[in-house]
Amino acid sequence: MEALYYDDTYPSVKEQKAFEKNIFSKTHRTDSEIALLEGLTVVYKSNIDLFFYVVGSSHENELMLMAVLNCLFDSLSQMLRKNVERRALLENMEGLFLAVDEIVDGGVILESDPQQVVHRVALRGEDVPYSEQTVTQVSTTALVTSLISAYYIVLMCPNSTLVPM
């Protein structure tokens, strides 16, 4: 459904698709929450017919990656009224995009509190000017830009086509 790449480790769509297939094939039948794949740390979670992945370099803190994953999942769960499944998500793709934008910007983690993400997504849905929404984000971005390297967020539905964003 959605795959966001924040660096050029996989520059072509073909390489991205191969990476996504590799992640899915290595993780869709296991109960663990973390994997090392192609020199990258992958944290993941599945729910009904969806798979959520956050990928960082092997040097990244797994707890930070898991915080991003949990924030995304919990935010979507609140926005979709605990109905996190493919059909509900397809009907609310705008909410997914807004949530991801609130959590990560250019590979930099901005937020890990799902309550704040849901609140900001609701504000953006009401057409509140960006200048009123992003003062905290600007200062946070300046603070952590040098601390965090590349992240990938991949949301997969088995037997469906992924569209890189």
Select from 68, 80, 83 the least CA-distant residue to 148.
Answer: 68
Q: Name the helix (H) or strand (E) containing 117.
A: helix 114-125
Ranges of each domain in the chain: 2-156
pLDDT at 15 over 60: yes
How does pLDDT run across 51-98, given as a tens digit for each residue?
A: 899 998 888 899 999 999 999 999 999 999 998 888 888 888 888 889
Tens of pLDDT, residue by residue over 44-64, are 998 888 889 999 888 889 999
Say which CATH class 2-156 falls into: alpha beta
**96 Cβ partners below 8 Å, 6+ apart?**
1, 2, 76, 89, 155
Tens of pLDDT, residues 32-42: 899 999 999 99
Distance CA 84, CA 34 (A): 21
